[in-house]
């Protein structure tokens, strides 16, 4: 949002930075326990506010979702992605609905090239009509996924209560604004599958992007990672000094399976709704290219809390004009599209060639 200096590098400068060794630092990513939530809600609120103001990323533990449940959802995800592409193509990603399956189709403005991955986005309500596979194609998948999604929503609602307290709104203020029982709920669960990357010396300069650097434009994202499948990195917004964090100092967020941690990040929506008090943070799944990087396949699950279309969004200090949930999403998609167009335009001007076709029209996803 506002404070980031987006897309200010030329393609040549950018490609030099992409190829340069990454600078890393170990930053403290706060771990917050939800144990005994009702009695500790004020203490938890304080910890969340501190983490949101200073880092924008934190891990949640003791959240009540059993490890076995998370593992089952990852099994479900693998079952889905193991289907033939010709089957998955019956439920193609719809940018209008922000749901469905895509493969090698998402282009981030930060890279101008496709993410090498496939993903499937699911919702609770009418947005999913026609976008579930049949029971015969994937038995128990829909029921299992919805049950998992309800559990993640319950954790989200605890966090929303704390954010509401922290910003001095009524306790249920954000919960009502993200009501998943409404048919027009926009909340999204995204199953992600990044492909194994060839671990060979890179002579062509081609970069196998996994998830190019971006901020999420939702309220709050809850991310589940799998043991040993590294790659997630963050670059807190406050420290970003170049476009999309290129050339900046990154921090690895390794899967913490022992404590069954959910990695959470503030999205652009909550940043705006808190008058920029809470920080939406750049993150990426790194394109493996350096010694020590993880080249294997990676599965992850992201849960994006999105507002109801008629939710009224404005922070307590009224820093930004009031917008509805529908307007916020539309504006975020338009900003993303404009940044991408600007990038493509710049690349055409300097005639930088890419191996990957740039398919701007498919490059939309409302959640991030
Ligand atoms: O796969 C991951 O770990 C991160 C995915 C992500 O950031 C996104 O889809 O917005
Ligand atoms: Fe993201």
Task: For residue 232, give the ligand 1 atom closest to its CA.
Answer: 3
Query: What pLDDT does residue 236 have?
Result: 72
368 ligand 1 Cβ < 6 A: yes
Q: How far apart are CA 183 and CA 173, in angstroms?
A: 19
Give me the interface pTM, i.e. the ipTM. 0.99
216 ligand 1 Cβ < 6 A: yes
DSSP 77: H
Q: Is 278 helix (H, G, I), strand (E, B) or coil?
A: coil
Per-residue exposure over 80-118, b if at least 16 CB sit within 10 Å of its own CB, e if not? bbebeeeebeebebbbebbbbbbbebbbbbbbbbbbbbb
Mind spelling out the 3-state secondary structure of 245-261? HCCCEEEECCCCCCCCC
The CA–CA distances, whole Å, from 187 to 37, 131, 141, 171, 285 equal 24, 15, 18, 20, 22
Per-residue exposure over 222-235, b if at least 16 CB sit within 10 Å of its own CB, e if not? bbbbbeebbbbbbb
**Which of 123-127, 163-167, 224-228, 348-352 bottoms out in mean pLDDT, i.e. has the lowest?**
348-352
Q: What is the pLDDT of residues 21-46, one digit of tens each?
A: 888 988 889 999 999 999 999 999 99
Residue 69 has pLDDT above 50, yes or no: yes
Query: What pLDDT does residue 234 have?
Result: 92
192 ligand 1 Cβ < 6 A: yes
Residue 239 has pLDDT above 70, yes or no: no
Owner of token pair 């991030």: 368
> What share of the chain has pLDDT > 90, as a percent?
64
Cβ-based burial of 32 (10 A; exposed 0-12, middle 13-18, buried ≥19): buried
211 ligand 1 Cβ < 6 A: yes
Query: What pLDDT does residue 198 have?
Result: 82
Atom 10 of ligand 1: nearest residue by CA position: 368
Measured from the alpha carbon of residue 285, the closest ligand is 1
284 ligand 1 Cβ < 6 A: no
Taking alpha carbons only, the member of 36, 80, 34, 37 closest to residue 58 is 34
Q: What is the pLDDT of residues 287-304, one digit of tens each?
A: 888 888 999 999 999 999
Measured from the alpha carbon of residue 192, the closest ligand is 1
Owner of token pair 């196998």: 208
Q: How far apart are CA 331 and CA 337, in angstroms?
A: 10
Residue 12: which pLDDT band, with cuts at 50, 70 and 90? low
Q: How many CA atoms lie within 13 A of 325 on its CB side?
A: 19
Domains of the chain from N-terminus onward = 19-350 (2.60.120.330)
Q: What is the pLDDT of residues 170-185, one digit of tens each?
A: 999 999 999 999 998 9
Residue 15 has pLDDT above 80, yes or no: no
Mind spelling out the 3-state secondary structure of 170-194? CCCHHHHHCCCCCCCCCCEEEEEEE
Atom 4 of ligand 1: nearest residue by CA position: 285
232 ligand 1 Cβ < 6 A: yes
Taking alpha carbons only, the member of 190, 191, 211, 189 closest to residue 77 is 191
Give the contacts of 198 (CB within 8 A, at least 6 positions apart): 208, 295
Q: Give DSSP secondary structure letters for 197-224.
A: ---S---S-----SEEEE---SSEEEEE
Is-contact 244 281, C-beta < 8 A?
Answer: no
Mean pLDDT of the chain: 87
Query: What pLDDT does residue 296 have?
Result: 94
Q: Is 39 helix (H, G, I), strand (E, B) or coil?
A: helix
Pocket-testing residue among 232, 280, 303, ligand 1, by greatest number of atoms within 8 A of Cβ: 232
Residue 3: which pLDDT band, with cuts at 50, 70 and 90? very low
CA of 351 to the centre of ligand 1 (A): 30
Task: For residue 298, give the ligand 1 atom closest to its CA.
Answer: 1
Q: How far apart are CA 60 and CA 303, in angstroms?
A: 14
More confident residue, 365 or 63: 63
Atom 7 of ligand 1: nearest residue by CA position: 284
pTM of the model: 0.89
DSSP 162: H
CA of 136 to the centre of ligand 2 (A): 32
Is-contact 121 353, C-beta < 8 A?
Answer: no
Taking alpha carbons only, the member of 275, 229, 255, 244 closest to residue 343 is 244
More confident residue, 159 or 331: 159
Q: What is the pLDDT of residues 192-234, one digit of tens each?
A: 999 998 887 667 767 788 988 889 999 999 999 999 999 999 9
Is-contact 152 221, C-beta < 8 A?
Answer: no
Task: For residue 300, give the ligand 1 atom closest to its CA.
Answer: 1
Q: What is the pLDDT of residues 248-261, one digit of tens each?
A: 888 999 999 999 99
Residue 115 has pLDDT above 50, yes or no: yes
């Amino acid at each position: 949002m506002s404070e980031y200096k987006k897309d200010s590098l030329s393609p040549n400068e950018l490609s030099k930075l992409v190829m340069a060794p990454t600078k890393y630092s170990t930053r403290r990513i706060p771990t917050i326990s939800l144990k005994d939530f009702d009695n500790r809600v004020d203490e938890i609120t304080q910890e969340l506010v501190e983490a949101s103001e200073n880092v924008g990323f934190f891990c949640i533990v003791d959240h009540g979702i059993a490890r076995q449940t998370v593992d089952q959802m990852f099994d479900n995800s693998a079952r889905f992605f193991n289907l033939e592409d010709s089957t998955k193509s019956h439920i193609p990603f719809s940018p209008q609905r922000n749901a469905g399956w895509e493969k090698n189709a998402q282009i981030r403005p930060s890279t101008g090239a496709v993410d090498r991955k496939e993903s499937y986005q699911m919702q609770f309500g009418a947005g999913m009509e026609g976008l579930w596979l049949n029971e015969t194609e994937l038995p128990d998948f829909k029921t299992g996924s919805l049950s998992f999604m309800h559990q993640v929503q319950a954790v989200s609602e605890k966090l929303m209560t704390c954010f509401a307290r922290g910003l001095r709104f009524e306790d249920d203020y954000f919960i009502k604004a993200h009501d998943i029982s409404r048919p027009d709920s926009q909340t999204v669960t995204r199953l992600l599958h990044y492909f194994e990357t060839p671990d060979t010396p890179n002579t062509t300069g081609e970069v196998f992007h996994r998830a190019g650097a971006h901020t999420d434009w939702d309220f709050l994202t809850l991310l589940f990672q799998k043991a040993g499948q590294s790659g997630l990195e963050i670059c807190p917004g406050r420290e970003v000094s170049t476009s999309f964090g290129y050339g900046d100092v990154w921090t690895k967020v390794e899967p913490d399976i022992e404590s069954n941690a959910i990695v959470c990040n503030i999205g652009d929506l909550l940043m705006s709704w808190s008058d920029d008090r809470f920080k939406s943070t750049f993150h990426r799944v790194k394109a493996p290219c350096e010694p020590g990087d993880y080249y294997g396949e990676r599965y992850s699950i992201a849960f994006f809390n999105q507002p109801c279309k008629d939710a009224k969004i404005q922070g307590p200090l009224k820093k930004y004009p009031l917008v509805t949930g529908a307007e916020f999403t539309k504006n975020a998609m338009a900003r993303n599209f404009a940044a991408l167009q600007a990038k493509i335009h710049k690349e055409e001007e300097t005639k930088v060639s890419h191996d990957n076709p740039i398919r701007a029209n498919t490059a939309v996803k409302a959640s991030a």
